């Protein structure tokens, strides 16, 4: 009787150990996963900067790989990491210092960096970002889940991060995507 118990129990324990190893091998849970992201300007973004009443300064600018824009009168202005309103405020301050009286400036992001979806979706690849894009919308753009997809979670590597994080989709809360993110949809085990 004990040999029968060993024959049944030992493989069962090995199976449980393997499955628990799979669960612990997931990337860590994301810090503050449901916050609406504030968009930060980054290299390769295309901006439209409007200086009201100054047609020569109003045009489209591309953020260089160094994170700057080359702005007339001011030279290279660091833009990477700022929001559009922060860049607008910086340009207003700089132009107020002897260049323009009471400048009114608007900064608008024209083209965002793409995001990427891979794994168990209909069509992996690079996709165009839209503001306040959610993980479920991003997966829909990529052709939706395949029949093997784990629909309960996604793994996201944020642009500039060296690791991916686990985001639960079953909570009923929204997971937002940012430009440059890579979303991986895993395969379900059962």
Q: Are residues 119 and 165 in the same domain?
A: yes
Q: Are residues 81 and 130 in the same domain?
A: no
Q: Of 57, 80, 110, which residue constitutes the final position of a domain?
A: 110
* CATH number for the domain harbouring residue 80: 3.30.1950.10
pLDDT per residue as tens digits for the range 47-99: 999 999 999 999 999 999 999 999 999 999 999 999 999 999 999 999 999 89
Per DSSP, helices labelled H in the chain are 2-24, 84-96, 135-141
Q: Of 84, 110, 136, which residue constitutes the final position of a domain?
A: 110
Q: Are residues 124 and 164 in the same domain?
A: yes
pLDDT per residue as tens digits for the range 6-49: 444 444 444 444 444 444 576 767 666 566 777 889 888 999 99
Domain-embedded: residue 80? yes
Contacts of 151 (CB under 8 A, 6+ apart): 145, 169, 188
Q: Is-contact 184 154, C-beta < 8 A?
A: yes
* Residue numbers of the domain that contains 97: 46-110
Domain-embedded: residue 36? no
Whole-model pTM over 0.75: no
Q: Is 67 exposed, middle or buried (0-12, 13-18, 19+ CB in 10 A)?
A: middle
Q: Are residues 145 and 85 in the same domain?
A: no
């Amino acid at each position: 009787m004990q040999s029968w118990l060993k024959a049944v129990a030992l493989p069962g324990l090995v199976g449980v150990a393997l499955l628990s190893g799979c669960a612990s091998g997931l990337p860590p849970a994301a810090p503050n996963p449901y916050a609406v992201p504030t968009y930060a300007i980054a290299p390769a973004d295309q901006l439209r900067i409007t200086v009201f009443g100054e047609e020569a300064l109003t045009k489209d600018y591309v953020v260089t790989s160094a994170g700057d824009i080359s702005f007339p009168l001011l030279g290279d202005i660091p833009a990477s990491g700022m929001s559009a309103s922060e860049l607008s405020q910086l340009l207003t301050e700089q132009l107020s210092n002897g260049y323009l009286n009471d400048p009114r400036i608007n900064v608008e992001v024209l083209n965002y960096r793409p995001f990427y979806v891979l794994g168990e979706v209909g069509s992996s690849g690079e996709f165009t970002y839209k503001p306040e894009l959610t993980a479920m919308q991003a997966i829909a753009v990529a052709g939706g889940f395949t029949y093997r997809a784990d629909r309960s979670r996604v793994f996201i590597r944020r642009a500039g991060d060296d690791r991916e994080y686990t985001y639960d989709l079953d909570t009923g809360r929204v997971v937002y995507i940012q430009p440059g993110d890579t979303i991986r949809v895993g395969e379900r085990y059962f």
